[in-house]
Structure 1
Amino acid sequence: MKIERPHSLEITPEESQELEYLRVKIERAIEDGVITRIEFESIKTIMFSNKKNNPDQILRQVTLYRHLVVEKMNNGELIFESPQ
């Protein structure tokens, strides 16, 4: 199912840079196949520190997180390390 967003704004260079920063942080956090609570909180802080509250950018960030983390967890490629 494809969702159309006809009123969404084009991504700005600043937003593109923010997404790239988030992608790098996520990839570093998951490279060992485990995501810790601290890594998760760090990623969440980056995702929701969007100063402009741009819903399009938030959607891009959540989509990136879903592709890099949630799908790997669902496929058994990544585990969440809960605190002891």
Structure 2
Amino acid sequence: MKIERPHSLEITPEESQELEYLRVRIERAIQDGVITRIEFESIKTIMFSNKKNNPDQILRQVTLYRHLVVEKLNNGELIFESPQ
């Protein structure tokens, strides 16, 4: 299902750079097939440290996280390692 957002703003170069940084951090965290609580918290901090609170950028970040982490967790391609 495609959701239309007619009032959304075009992505700025700065926002594009932020997304790329987040993507790289996520890929490094999951490259071993395991995401730890510390890695999860680090990713969450990056995602929600956006001082502008641009809803479009937050949506892009959450979508990226869902694609790279949540879908892999659901498919069994990634394991969440909780602290002992």
Q: Give, in whole Å, the separation in 2 of the partners of 1:52 and 1:22.
A: 16
Q: CA deviation at 1:4?
A: 0.1
Structure 1 stretches lacking a partner, 5+ long: none
| TM value normalised by structure 2 | 1.00
List alignment gaps of at least 5 residues for structure 2. none
CA RMSD, aligned part only? 0.2
SS at match of 1:83: coil
Shift of 1:5: 0.1
Equivalent-residue separation in structure 2 for 1:50 and 1:9 (angstroms): 16
User: Scaled by the length of structure 1, what TM-score is found?
Assistant: 1.00
List, as ranges, runs of 4+ consecutive aligned residues in structure 1 with deviation greater than 2 Å: none
**Quick one: distance in 1 between partners of 2:2 and 2:82?**
34
Percent of residue pairs identical:
96
